[in-house]
Amino acid sequence: MEVGAVCPRLRPVDLESLVDQQRQKTAETWSVLLDHGLREGSPLDVETFFFADDEAAAVSLVEALAAEGTTATTESFQAKAGLFRKKTVWAVQADSALPVASLAVLADLTEAMVRQAARAGAVYDGWGAQIPES
């Protein structure tokens, strides 16, 4: 999702659409990971990414994730907001260690992160992982 697509609140129908889109992306990413040697059921460290328009939303998300036992950090950066303007955007990164990776586990994690971001006024941007060396 582009930084410019960050929005403070999503309507319920938009949220469900976003959940569906992200679940589809998760299925695609899972397939690529399997093609590159990941074994279903093996542990997997997952990094999830979010954007927020303001510090309050970013901090709210970090605190909510921390309350659930997820390590999360935030930082700000300047993004283009038109031809001559810039705006401050807040990025949040969370790390999750999955003891047993599967499409179902990743799909559930994705949905939980999308909803958590929406509650905090942030936007879920996706996740990534490196295949552990065997």
HEC secondary structure over 55-85: HHHHHHHHHHHHHCCCEEEEEEEEEECCCCC
Give this prediction's pTM: 0.84
Q: Which are the contacts of 120, defined by CB distance < 8 A and separation ≥ 6?
A: 52, 57, 58, 60, 61, 64
- Fold for domain 7-129? Alpha-Beta Plaits (3.30.70)
Domain boundaries defined on the chain:
7-129
pLDDT value at 11 more than 60: no
- Dump pLDDT digits (tens) for 59-93: 999 999 999 999 999 999 988 888 888 889 999 99
Mean pLDDT of 28-42: 96
Secondary structure of 104-126 as H, E, C letters: HHHHHHHHHHHHHHHHHCCEEEE
Mean pLDDT of 23-35: 97
